[in-house]
Structure 1
């Protein structure tokens, strides 16, 4: 359904220091780095599916209230690793890893990146 998702940042270098290790826990890599944005993709994917970018209009990035990309994790251990890496690299906790009431196997965590964007990692296995 989605071609890609963008998340705003006010400090691209800081965002890269956060996203590189956090996305690696889900098997994603930074595949493109430009002056104003960094793109993350699964190995072998020709398109970056997650972009962290300074806003195109030049105004400060702000957090979308109610916005949250949920990223697929292959295992509960990957959800745990995502959460740990986010906290170690400047993110904040919005919900520790655990089962959620959205399905019998819906295991998720919630964090905010250094700019305040909310992210989730979810394993449904």
Structure 2
């Protein structure tokens, strides 16, 4: 359904270090390193969609976070959700919701929420039963 998601960063080098570390837990890697132009693209493989992009805003203004915006990455297991959350916090993210069931979404929704180094809300979720 999605082609890509893009979030702004104020520091492309810092963002690369953070996302290289955190997304590796999910088998996602930087496929497009355009740091010279202010962009990084992450995906499960070079031709894979959807893609997750981090970059300097094209309009040159300071990047901001969106109220009500959450980017969610899918995990194949609850163990991966736990590892994502632990790795993100170790890489400098702030906690926005520890790993656990969120039955108000559905009975098997197991998610964790963080704020990345630029303040974007990021989720990792597993929809599979335990």
Q: Which residue of 1 aligns with 2:9?
A: 9
Tell me the residue number matched to 1:86: 88
Deviations 1:4-35 (Å, cap 9, x if unpaired)? Answer: 00011000001011100111111101011112
| Greater than 4 Å deviation, 4+ residue runs | none
Q: Secondary structure of the residue that 1:13 maps to in structure 2?
A: helix
Partners of 1:85 and 1:16 in 2: CA distance: 14
CA contact (8 A) 2:75 2:126 kept: yes
C-alpha displacement of 1:104: 1.1
Q: For this pair of structures, how many residues does the alignment match?
A: 125
Name the SS for the 1:17 alignment partner: helix
Residue-by-residue CA offset, 1:58-104 (whole Å, 9 max, x unaligned): 11100111101111001101100110111011110000000002111
Query: Alpha carbon RMSD of aligned pairs, Å?
Result: 1.2
Query: Could you say what secondary structure the match of 2:21 adopts?
Result: helix
CA distance in 2, matches of 1:113, 1:66: 15
5+ residue gaps, structure 2: none
The TM-score with structure 1 as length reference comes to: 0.95
The separation in 2 between residues aligned to 1:109 and 1:91, in whole angstroms, is 12
Aligned partners of 1:103 and 1:46: how far apart in 2? Answer: 28
Residue 100 of structure 2: which of 98, 101, 115 is its match?
A: 98
Counterpart CA distance in 1 for 2:50 and 2:100 is: 28
